[in-house]
Structure 1
Amino acid sequence: MEYSIVKLVHLLGVILFMGNIIVSALWKIQADKTGNPVVIAFACRLVNMTDLAFTAFGAALIIVGGIGLFHATGIAISDAPHLTIGISLFGMAAVLWLVGLLPLQLYMSRIATQTAAKGQDVMPAAYDKCRKLWGLVGFIATALPLGALYFMIFR
């Protein structure tokens, strides 16, 4: 029973985490394509909200479920190099999100909100520069957990 519960928690976390990072990126990319500061500000606000609600919560469930699976199965991490690789990739994604994506998202949200509040029709160059960096860092931060998922499933 314990194994099934922690596996459910772990998988629910993966679904919330992976689903949100992919869907949020798509929302924001589509909003950026409009060039409309009001739409962009709204999308930035949603990305920040859903990151807290789903990405962070999903990551917490992944961690709790993963630790629970270690206890339930009795697997030693030294006996499972695929788990070490998966955990490392997940950890690298977390660091990128905390030190790269999150500060960029908050800054871009502030720029977009101020631009929309001033009634301007064009996003400033600073936003575009951040948007490009966010796209690059976000691609890497999405590829890392996809790699972790691969190692967790296919060993």
Structure 2
Amino acid sequence: MLYAFFKSLHILGLVLMAGNVTVTALWKVFADRTNKTQIMAFAQWLVTVTDFSFTLSGGFLMVLGGYGAAFVGNWPIFSTPWLVLGQLMLAIAGAVWLGILVPLQIKQARLAQEFAVLGEVPPDYRKYSRIWLVWGLLSTVPLLAGLYWMVAKPMSYGW
């Protein structure tokens, strides 16, 4: 019962994180394509709000649920191949998020606050948006790989 609880937290965390990453990229791209500064600025504000609400809380639930399930299920977290790979993928995605995406979002948010009032989107905003989209999509790959390893559990019987 406790194992199922932790596993459910882990899956909920992945759904929140991966879902937010995917949906946020989609509606931000569409908002930016309108070229309407107030819509773009609002979308950029929502990127920040949803990222810290859903991505951060999703990551927390994934870690809490994953380690809780591993502990209760007696899975050795540093010697079970699919668990090691899953942790590595989450670390890679987290490093991209913290090291690249969050700083870009902060820059974009500052620019968006200005152009919402001034009415002209600076070229830097467009450049940062393209970089953010590419790195955001790239950071989704390790999350999906981790999902695969979590479900398929390949190499469960040794390296």
The residue aligned with 1:131 is 129
The residue aligned with 2:139 is 141
Q: Give the TM-score normalised by the residue count of structure 1.
A: 0.94
* Partner SS, residue 84 of structure 1: helix
CA contact (8 A) 1:37 1:113 kept: no
The residue aligned with 2:45 is 45
- Once superposed, which parts of structure 1, at least 4 consecutive aligned residues long, lie more than 6 Å away? none
CA contact (8 A) 1:89 1:144 kept: yes
Q: Give the TM-score normalised by the residue count of structure 2.
A: 0.92
Cα distance between partner residues in 1 of 2:29 and 2:69:
36
Cα distance between partner residues in 2 of 1:78 and 1:137:
28
CA contact (8 A) 2:4 2:69 kept: no
The residue aligned with 1:31 is 31
C-alpha displacement at 1:95, in angstroms? 0.6
Cα distance between partner residues in 1 of 2:35 and 2:144:
30
Amino acid at match of 2:139: A
Tell me, yes or no, if structure 1 residue 12 matches structure 2 residue 12.
yes
Cα distance between partner residues in 1 of 2:7 and 2:78:
20
Question: Comparing both structures, which one devotes a greater share of its residues to helix?
Answer: 1
Query: Which deviations, in whole Å up to 9, do the C-alpha atoms of 1:81-111 show, x marking residues without a partner?
Result: 1111111011100010001001101111111
Cα distance between partner residues in 2 of 1:34 and 1:62:
35
Amino acid at match of 2:49: M
The residue aligned with 2:60 is 60
C-alpha displacement at 1:78, in angstroms? 4.2
The residue aligned with 1:21 is 21
CA contact (8 A) 1:38 1:113 kept: no
Cα distance between partner residues in 1 of 2:43 and 2:101:
15
The residue aligned with 2:98 is 98
Deviates more, 1:140-149 or 1:71-80: 71-80
CA contact (8 A) 1:93 1:141 kept: yes
State the superposition RMSD in angstroms: 1.1
Amino acid at match of 1:47: V
The residue aligned with 2:75 is 75
* Partner SS, residue 129 of structure 1: helix
Amino acid at match of 1:76: P
